[in-house]
Amino acid sequence: DIQLTQSPSFLSASVGDRVTITCRASQGISSYLAWYQQKPGKAPKLLIYAASTLQSGVPSRFSGSGSGTEFTLTISSLQPEDFATYYCQQLNSYPRFTFGPGTKVDIK
């Protein structure tokens, strides 16, 4: 099975900061990677698919990049509503669509 790791697992940042989260796959997954945001008590929300394509309605301060085994999610200027947990998910190894362990973004 393809394993995903995320770093950091926890991140403390201020409003306006540029934030980068990394997701690494145990083997190449091309661009079959999605990023989700989850707020406490809520369902996950799709932010990015195909590693770098912004989901409709998601603010442009979110961006994704990478292919193969290393991927990044960047928030260019952190906003108060962005404090949440972020998960990557690989969709290369059908149908075992594993998630990363998550990165919690907290207020500094």
Partner 1 sequence: EVQLVQSGAEVKKPGESLKISCKGSGYSFTSYWIGWVRQMPGKGLEWMGIIYPGDSDTRYSPSFQGQVTISADKSISTAYLQWSSLKASDTAMYYCARQDVEADAFDIWGQGTMVTVSS
d(CA 99, CA 17): 26
Q: Which stretch binds partner 1 (CB under 8 A): 19-27, 59-67, 71-79, 98-106?
A: 98-106
* Site map (CB under 8 A) of partner 1, residues 19-58, x = contact: -------------x-x-x-x----xxxx--xx--x-x---
Would you say 17 or 99 has its CB closer to partner 1?
Answer: 99
Nearest to 22 by CA among 60, 66, 62: 66
List all residues 6 or more positions away from 77 whose beta carbon is below 8 Å from its beta carbon: 16, 17, 18, 61
What are the CB-based long-range contacts (under 8 Å, 24+) for 44-50?
44/87, 47/73, 47/86, 48/73
Q: Which stretch binds partner 1 (CB under 8 A): 18-26, 65-73, 76-84, 85-93?
A: 85-93
3 binds partner 1 (CB under 8 A): no
Task: Provide, rounded to whole angstroms, the least separation between the CB of residue 50 and partner 1.
Answer: 6
